[in-house]
Structures are given as C-alpha cells and as structure tokens.
Chains A and B, each alone.
Chain A
Amino acid sequence: MLARAHTFTIEGLQTRHVRVELDIRPGLPGFAIVGLADAAVREARERVRAAILNSGYEFPARRITANLAPGDVPKAGPGLDLALACAVLAASGQLPRERLESHALFGELALDGEVRACQGTLAVAQATQEAGLGTLVLAGACAREAKLVDGIDVAVAERLASAVRVLGGGRGDPLPERRPQEASPNGSTGRGLAGSAPDLGDVRGQHHAVRALVIAAAGGHNSLLSGPPGTGKTMLAQRLGSILPPLSRPEAIEVTRIQSITGGLAGELATRRPFRAPHHSITTAGLVGGARRGWVGEVVLAHHGVLFLDELSEFARPTLEALRQPLEDGLVAIVRARHSAIYPARFMLIAATNPCPCGWAGAADRCRCSETDLARYRRRMSGPLLDRIDLLTHLELDAMHDLKLAPLATSKAARERVTDARERQAARLRDDSVTVNAHMDTRTLKRHVTLEDKGEEMLRKARERGMLSARGQHRVLRVARTVADLNGSARVRARDVGAALALRPEAALAGSRVA
C-alpha cells in the first residue's frame, strides 16, 4: 500500500517542499528512509515507531520504505516526523489517504506521541500557502506564528492522535493560551537587551552624539562612534534600537521568518528591530554566513535591524572587508564549493572605536601614542569600510563629567521625530525601490536633492579644499537630506549641508594629521 504526505525542509532561509512517499509491502520487518536524509531524519524511524505505538496505533510489522522526494535535495531536521508517522498510518489503513494529499504536516514527535514545535514555522506556513495546500497541521506552540500567513488553515495537533483526527475530518486542538512573553524573543544578542529596553533618556550629556544618533536613525545611515573609553559609545549604540521606527508588516514577516528559522521559536510577529552585537573575535563565516550549508551569518540576522560592531579596530580586517557587499547591495551572496545562496542583509551598521591605541587621542596630556602608532591604528580600519560610513560622531570625556545633566531626549520623543522623518522619506521615495535616504543611489540622489546656491557653494569649497571625495560628496548630500527631513524642510538648505559637513567621516580617521 502506498501513501503520500506533504511536508517541508529548510535550507538556509529557503523552504523546500518534500513529498513523503511511503510504501508498505510484505517482507522482513524494517523501516528504510531514502532521499538524502540527514542524521535527524534517519533517527525519525525510532521516534515514529515509538510514537505510533504509544498513541495506541499499530506499527505494521512489514517492510516499510519511505522516499523523500525530490531525491536530490538534502533533508534536514526533525520536522519531517509528523508526516512520516501519518504516512505510515495511512499506508497501513489506519487513516484515510485522500485527505493526506491536501494537508501539510510539520512537527517533531516525542516518543509518547506528543507533537513538538520545530524551527522555521513561519517559513513553512508561507511555503504551504505557495504550494497550494489548504491546511497546515502543526504543534500548538508554533501555531500563532503560522497564523500570521493568510490563505491557509492552521490545525493544531498537540498529539499524534489529534493529527489523525484532523486528517479524518475532525477538528484540531484548541490554540494554547498565550504564554507570558519570554524575555527578548527577537533574536537579540549582546548586553543589556533582555528585559526592559534601554532608553535614550538614560544618557546624560553627550548631546552632540545623541543628535547624531537621531540623524543616523532617521536616515538609516551607517555611523561610527569614536571616543575615549568610558564615554558611552556602547551605551548609545544599544539605545539605537529604541529610537528606530517599528517594523512595517512586510518587514516584520521577513524578520520573524529569519528569526523563526535561526533562533528557534519566534511565537509572535517580531515587533522590535533586530540588534546584533557580535564579539570582535567573530570569523568571516560567522559574520556573513557560509560556514556550512544553510548557515546564515550575523548580517542576515540583522536584516531590517542594526548590526553593532563594538571595538571596530579589533575585528579582523578580512572579516570587515566581507561587509562591503551587504553594505552596498543589502544582500549577501554566499558561494561555496557545494552550495551557493543569496540572503537578504539590509541592515544599519553602527560601529564604535577608540580614536587611537591608548584611547585618548586629542587629549594632549593623556595620549601617548606616537604618530606611527596612530597611522598604524588608523590603517587597520580605514579603506572601503570607512568609505561606507556616513556619519562620524566623536564622544568626549569631559562632556560626561556632569552626570546630573539633563538627557537630551527620551526614546519616545526621539522615535517620534525619527518616524516623522522616515515617513517624509518614504513619501518622497515611493517610486524608487528604497525607503530611506541612506540607500539612495546617485541617480535618486540627484533627483531628490537639489541645493540652493549657497549649499552648492559650500560643497564646491569643500571640494577645492580637498575635504571631500566624490563619494564623500554624495554621503554629505544624503545626510543633509536627512537633516532637512528631521527639521521638516522640503528643500535641502545650506545649513543642512553645513551640519552634514560637520559630521562627515572624511579625514578625521584616515591618514596622518599632517601630510
């Protein structure tokens, strides 16, 4: 007897539709799975057998062959258990076969017959809808996530018996109570992010840096914070997430999908933007992905969010060089000998660094670095990465002395300004493929940024003084556009250009002071 069931396997961020074909015929009792199954899938034999028996069904004592089609796609993960078990039951006549054809099944089985949730539910639900299957049967714990996708029915099966009931035409189990929100479901790593979100109001003083951070958030500009140790670089960067506008629904679906595949159960639609803060010992593969088939890197996990690189100068240079493509194109193409994949990676980069090896450059009596030390230190960071950074903010120590200073703004107020500015940008850029100023290409830039004579004059002078490269000019224009958006101005005025010039990263970190 032959039975067919539908399920999915996940590779990288892609879901692949898997047809389980299961045949039972007389012969020596055994259970063989063919079709490039990985260890987790091969172990499914034991789980399926025990779950079927413990749920009160009969496990046929005959020769069982399961084929996972298509045969050239590697199948991974325990999510195929449920489909295998139902196919066994259908092939042995304990379950009507017809309905199995129109249902997708996704879940891991416990030995006692319980259905467990698996990673990547949202992606599976989307694939179910694309494959034209009407109903997705899965565990209760991830049902809410699957319900985010329109156009399919989600049937909850807490146990194998419930799945059998659903496939027999009955109702699924009720949706479980919403669990109390666990800390930090959004795949955040790093410090200070679990629990209550840090607020910009915690930052005392450093008004200049806070202002620059708001500009960066408003235009999605990559920025670099530079300053002596203990001035609050990390503190500021961690508060960036709290002033970014909430995710739009399509963005949220994308983020949830990535988090659900990589970070386990998302459970809910992601609301906060991801904030990834990898340690500086990270490898290239860890940052962009490609360590093995399907492995995604930090840049992908930071999609639609923030990638924070603390102590930028400590990162290995090749690792940072690998950031070029994602920063430029918003995606990362991984090509390895046995696999290749393209992942989305549209993130905002925020980096922090000391200005020199001892950290005190500019403070005359404290910095003891020689010119050579400085040159060497700057060389480690300079080049293509700094070329993609729009804003440079210097933090200084004495601004911190007075911790009783009033904060410049709370996160809420700042977020409102940022959201306003972003709405203005979105309205202006609605015909282009981008949503924020930072992503405008030169053509878009030309169309949307026209300067007054005085502004042109300033740019010309900056060029003549050698303060700006060609790319640097575009950066200044993008930032000036954002400053104008923040101030609610439709035109880019000369003063916006002036402010953008003051924040430009040119010259301040590259090369020597003198020649």
Chain B
Amino acid sequence: MSATGPGQGVPGACEQCLRRSWLLGELSASLDYRCNDRDRLIALLTLGDEELIQAVAGRRKGEMKARYALFDPQQLRWAGDVEAVCRHDRRFPRSLAGPGSPPMLNVAGGLERLAGLTAAPVVAIVGSRRATDYGIEMAKCLARGLAACGVTVTSGVTDGIAVAAHAGALEASGRTVSVISGGLDVARPAGRRSLCERLSRSGCAVAELPSGCPTRRWAQAASERTVAGLAGLTVVVEADEGPGELACAKMARALGRQVAAVPGRVTSPSSRGTHALLMGGAHLIRGPQDALELLYGMDAPRPSPQRQSRPELEPGLKATLEQVGAGRDTPEKLTRAGADAWEVLVSLSELELMGLLARGDGGRYVPRDPLARGGSSTG
C-alpha cells in the first residue's frame, strides 16, 4: 500500500480504495442514468471496479479501462483538510464494514475524531425534504435530546428533516457526522454555509466521492446507504410514501439495523410514510427518551437533565401549551377556543421565551418538545 493523502497524520486509505473513489467520480454522469431504480443502483455499487466499468461506462469502456490501469493516486486533488480513510484502516467506522457500504470515505474534521464519533452510539435522523414545522421541531428535539446524552447524530445536509437534525444537535452542543453526497469541497449548499461551518467545529463531514466532484442524483441516493450504514438506529421523522423518502429506512432494514418512526397526524400526507413504517413494525418514537431506550435498553440515560428540574408551569401556560400541542396553534384558534385574546398573546410569548414553543410558518406555533409523558415508559 502506498501512502497517499493530504500529507497530514497517518494516511488512512489504500491505493485500491482511492482508485475506487476516483472511478466513481469519473463514472458519476453515467451512473446518474441508473438512479431511477434505486435497488439496481445499489446493486451496481456493490460490483467490483472492472465490472462496474463494464456495466456503466458504455462507449467509454475502453478508455476508462485504460485510465483505470494508469491511475496514480498522486493525481487526486485534495481540498483543505480532507483526508481519506478506507475499510482497511482501523479508523474506518466499523459499522460500514458490511457489504454494500462504501469502501472508503473522504473525511473533513479528522480521522481520529471520526473514529471517536462512530465509537459512540450513532442515530440517523432522516426524513422528507419538504417537512412541516412539526417535523422540523421533532427532528430538532430528538437530535437535541440524543446529542445531550452523548449520542452521535448523523444525517445528510439536505433540506427539511436532515438539516433540522444537525441544527438540533448543535443546540445541545452535540456532535454530528454529516454525510455529503458530492465532493466535500463543492457539494455543501451555499445556503447552509453557516450551518456547515458550525458543524465542522466539533463534528465531521464524510463523502464517498472525491473532492471536486459535483453532487448528482445517484450520489444523493448512494449517500443514504452511508447514513443508514453509519447508524445503529435510523429514525424517520416525517416522510411521504414515495420510494425516495423511505429509502434510508429500507436500507437500514436491509442492513439489519433498527428502524423507528415518529408518528404524525393521519390526515397529513407528510406522515404517510412514517405511519406505513410503523404499520410494518418500526419502533414508535415519541421523544428522545424512546430512542435512548432503543439504544441502551431500560437503563437509558435521561435526556437533558436540566429539563427535568424545570419548575412546574403555571396552570394558564400549561393549558396554552397543551392546546398548541393539540393543534390550536395560532392566536386566532386559541382565542376562539375560549381564551382571552391578550392572555393568549402573552402566554404564547412567555412559552416562546421559555423555549417551549417555536414559531412556524404562517403564524403557527409549534411545541419544541413532546409533552412530558406519564406512565410506565418514563420509569
């Protein structure tokens, strides 16, 4: 194995795995034609290098084979602090050892840090890109609670649930692994610049494709298998029924990992997928505690101990909070349910200041935590 990489620390990837990464980058455009059928795409990605060229490269087969033979790892472009790690290195996440997982990752944030992050329990928080306020707040709440207990949160950096999960983990100063579908230096969406910046301070970003490679549709689908592979538990917060929205759960199941889902309203199309998962035997998640119990069993650590010691709410505020949780989520609806108009505004503000409510779209308020549960499960 020849040493390659950016030249800092111990190089973590062998030439064969670097070659694979380079090949995927080269075949990226061709693979895009095959991403409509996800199963076939995943099957393609498990092929060996020669077979992959044979299957995908089309008329460029001969040319690709020649270039493949001539590959020199020194040609690879390394952006910034990106390092590579492959399955032959001890720092490679153990959870990705199975077949079908990417053999090699480009990592921003340091290999040792990645090893530390993946040694802790990892939970993937995934879901729809067109999430509702409820989904966003639930994703944030789960990530907050899990991160506060030292769980590593992983997800993509796509819109909706994924990015909310990262933001929630940050709120609890937690650490995340962001799975990026293109090259680490190009694929971060411009609108997420500040989020990615904050994530990189304590967490890691990983990508299968080499630096300089733009993101593509197939790569988005392929990155979901990395997310599912990294995590011991995959929580789907909100998803419609489409194959794309549930792909991650499907892959996690195929890998034999635990799959869980957060229920929503039965009238909301954004929760159809999660309800289907629940019907199919996925675990029910009502809050971070449920996820922790899945990970650790009954002696799970309690999330966010400071919330436990929160003084009891005044009855008026508590009633308002419950009403909002029950769907009377605007001042108009609350007032029509019989409350005094000024009191409603004041208690909504107070609850927002306490961090129990957040503002959603269209003037709606969204609870930031699920209501405290009584009964057996809280113990």
Q: CA–CA, A513 to B268, complex, Å?
A: 20
With contacts A498-B349, A502-B345, A502-B348 known, is A207 near B335, CB below 8 A? Answer: yes
Complex CA distance for A372 and B359, rounded to whole angstroms: 19
Given A355-B362, A399-B333, A462-B345 contact (CB < 8 Å) = no
Would you call B330 an interface residue if the criterion is a C-beta within 8 Å of the partner chain's C-beta atoms?
Answer: yes
A48 to B133, CA, bound (A): 73
B342 sits at the interface (CB 8 A) = yes
Residue in A211, A356, A365, A394 whose CB lies within 8 Å of B363: A394
Docked Cα-Cα span, A370 to B131, in Å, equals 9
What B residues does A449 contact at CB under 8 A? none
Binds A, one of B78-86, B119-127, B159-167: B159-167
Q: How far is the CA of A365 from the CA of B361 in the complex (A)?
A: 13
Task: Tell me, in angstroms, the Cα distance from A365 to B272 when the chains sit together.
Answer: 11
The distance from the CB of A409 to the nearest CB of chain B, in whole angstroms, is 12
Residues A399 and B159 in contact, CB atoms below 8 Å apart: no
Judge whether A461 and B332 touch: CB under 8 Å: no
Q: Given A207-B335, A498-B350, are A362 and B341 neighbors across the interface (CB < 8 Å)?
A: no
Tell me if A227 counts as interface (CB < 8 A to partner B).
yes
By secondary structure, the B interface counts as helix
Q: Which residues from B are CB-within-8-Å of A399? A: 330, 332-333, 336
B293 within 8 A of A: no
Residue B213 at the chain A interface, CB threshold 8 Å: no
A465 to B353, CA, bound (A): 7
> Known contacts being A208-B331, A396-B332, is A362 close to B345, with CB within 8 Å?
no
Q: CB within 8 Å of A: which of B115-159?
A: 129-130, 132-134, 136, 140, 159
Contact A361 B192 (CB under 8 A): no
* B354 vs chain A, min Cβ distance (A): 8
Interface string of B323-359 (1 = CB under 8 A from A): 0000000111101100001110111111011110001
Q: Quick check: A465 and B355 within 8 Å, CB to CB?
A: yes
Q: Tell me, in angstroms, the Cα distance from A498 to B268 when the chains sit together.
A: 32
Contact A365 B268 (CB under 8 A): yes
A372 touches B191 (CB 8 A): yes
**Residue contact A356 to B352, C-beta cutoff 8 Å:** no
From known contacts A356-B361, A396-B363, infer whether A502 and B331 are also in contact, taking CB-CB under 8 Å.
Answer: yes
**CB–CB A498/B346 < 8 A:** yes
**CB interface residues, A 227-282, toward B, < 8 Å:** 227-228
> Is B178 located at the chain interface by the 8 A CB criterion?
no
Contacts A371-B159, A394-B363, A512-B191 hold; do A458 and B269 have CB atoms under 8 A apart?
A: no
Give complex CA distance A426, B162 in Å.
Answer: 52
For B348, the chain A residues whose CB sits under 8 A away are: 502
Contacts of A226 in B (CB 8 A): 362-363
B42 within 8 A of A: no
| Most chain A CB neighbours (cut-off 10 Å) among B130, B345, B364 | B345
Residues of A within 8 A of B75 (CB): none
**CB of A232 to closest CB in B, whole Å:** 12
Contact with B along A446-468 (1 / 0, CB 8 A): 00000000000010011001010
Judged by a CB distance under 8 angstroms, whether B376 is at the interface is no
With most chain B CB atoms within 10 A of its CB, the pick from A362, A365, A399 is A362
In the complex, B8 has a CB within 8 A of chain A? no
Q: Is A515 touching B361 in the complex (CB atoms < 8 A)?
A: no
Which residues of the other chain, A, contact B363 by a CB distance below 8 angstroms?
226, 362, 392-396, 508
Once A458-B349, A502-B331 are accepted as A-B contacts, the answer to whether A364 and B132 lie under 8 Å apart by CB is yes
Please determine whether B164 and A362 come into contact, CB atoms closer than 8 angstroms: no
The yes or no answer to A32 lying at the interface (CB within 8 A) is no
| A172 vs B317: C-alpha distance when bound (angstroms) | 74
Q: Are B362 and A396 in contact (CB under 8 A)?
A: yes
B211 within 8 A of A: no
Query: In the complex, how many angstroms separate the beta carbon of A98 from the nearest chain B beta carbon?
Result: 70
Q: Is the CB of B353 within 8 A of A462?
A: yes
A375 and B345 contacting across the interface, CB-CB below 8 Å: no
Closest to B132 in A: A364
Closest chain B residue to A365, Cβ basis = B269
A34 touches B (CB below 8 Å): no
Chain B residues within an 8 Å CB radius of A465? 352-353, 355
B168 to chain A: closest residue by CB: A514
Q: Contact: B330 with A394, CB < 8 Å?
A: yes
B361→A461 contact, CB < 8 A: no
Is A495 part of the binding interface, using a Cβ–Cβ cutoff of 8 Å? yes
Set of chain A residues within 8 Å of B164, measured between Cβ atoms: 514
Expressed in whole angstroms, the Cα–Cα distance for A462 and B357 within the complex equals: 13
When distances are taken between beta carbons in the complex, the residues of chain A under 8 Å from B345 are: 498-499, 502-503
**Is A61 an interface residue when CB atoms closer than 8 A count as contact?**
no
Residue B195, interface by CB 8 Å = yes
B269 touching A370, Cβ below 8 Å: no
Which residues of B from 247 to 289 have beta carbons under 8 Å from A? 267-270
> Closest Cβ of chain A: how far from B173's Cβ, in Å?
16
A495 and B191: CB pair below 8 A?
no
Q: B160-199 interface mask toward A, CB cutoff 8 Å, 1 = contact, 0 = none?
A: 1001100100000000000000000000000110110000
Inter-chain CA distance A491–B173, complex, in Å, is 40
CB distance from A481 to the nearest CB of B (A): 15
A315 to chain B, nearest CB (A): 21
A362–B349 contact, CB under 8 A?
A: no
Q: How far is the CB of A216 from chain B (nearest CB, A)?
A: 15
Say whether B360 faces chain A, with CB atoms less than 8 Å apart. yes
Query: In the complex the two chains form, is A207's CB within 8 Å of B330's CB?
Result: no
Residues of chain A lying within 8 A (CB to CB) of residue B347? 498
**How far is it, in angstroms, between the C-alpha of A206 and the C-alpha of B350 when the chains are bound?**
23
From known contacts A364-B134, A514-B136, A515-B163, infer whether A208 and B341 are also in contact, taking CB-CB under 8 Å.
Answer: yes
| B362–A227 CB distance below 8 A | yes
Q: In the complex the two chains form, what is the Cα distance from A495 to B129 in whole Å?
A: 38
Candidates A208, A364, A365; contact of B335 at CB < 8 Å:
A208
- Identify which of A370, A394, A494 contacts B159 (C-beta below 8 A): A370
A502 in contact with B349 (CB, 8 Å)? yes
Contacts of B364 in A (CB 8 A): 362, 394
Q: List residues 485-515 of chain A with CB under 8 A from any CB of chain B.
A: 487, 494-495, 497-499, 501-503, 507-508, 512-515
Task: Note all chain B residues with C-beta closer than 8 A to A461.
Answer: 353-354
User: Of B195, B349, B362, which one neighbours A515 at CB under 8 angstroms?
Assistant: B195
Check A362/B361 contact, CB under 8 A, given A370-B159, A501-B349, A515-B163: yes
Q: Mark A356-386, 1 if CB is under 8 A from B, else 0.
A: 1000011111011011100100000000000
14 inter-chain pairs at a CB distance below 8 angstroms, sorted by A residue, are A365-B270, A368-B130, A399-B333, A458-B349, A462-B353, A465-B353, A465-B355, A467-B352, A498-B345, A499-B342, A502-B349, A513-B133, A514-B195, A515-B192
A interface with B by C-beta (< 8 Å): 205-209, 211, 226-228, 355-356, 361-365, 367-368, 370-372, 375, 392-396, 398-399, 458, 461-462, 465, 467, 487, 494-495, 497-499, 501-503, 507-508, 512-515
Question: Known pairs A458-B350, A512-B191. 10 more at Cβ < 8 A?
Answer: A208-B331, A356-B361, A365-B270, A371-B130, A399-B333, A467-B352, A467-B353, A494-B346, A498-B345, A502-B352
Closest 10 CB pairs of A and B: A394-B363, A362-B362, A362-B361, A498-B346, A371-B159, A515-B195, A502-B345, A501-B349, A498-B349, A364-B132
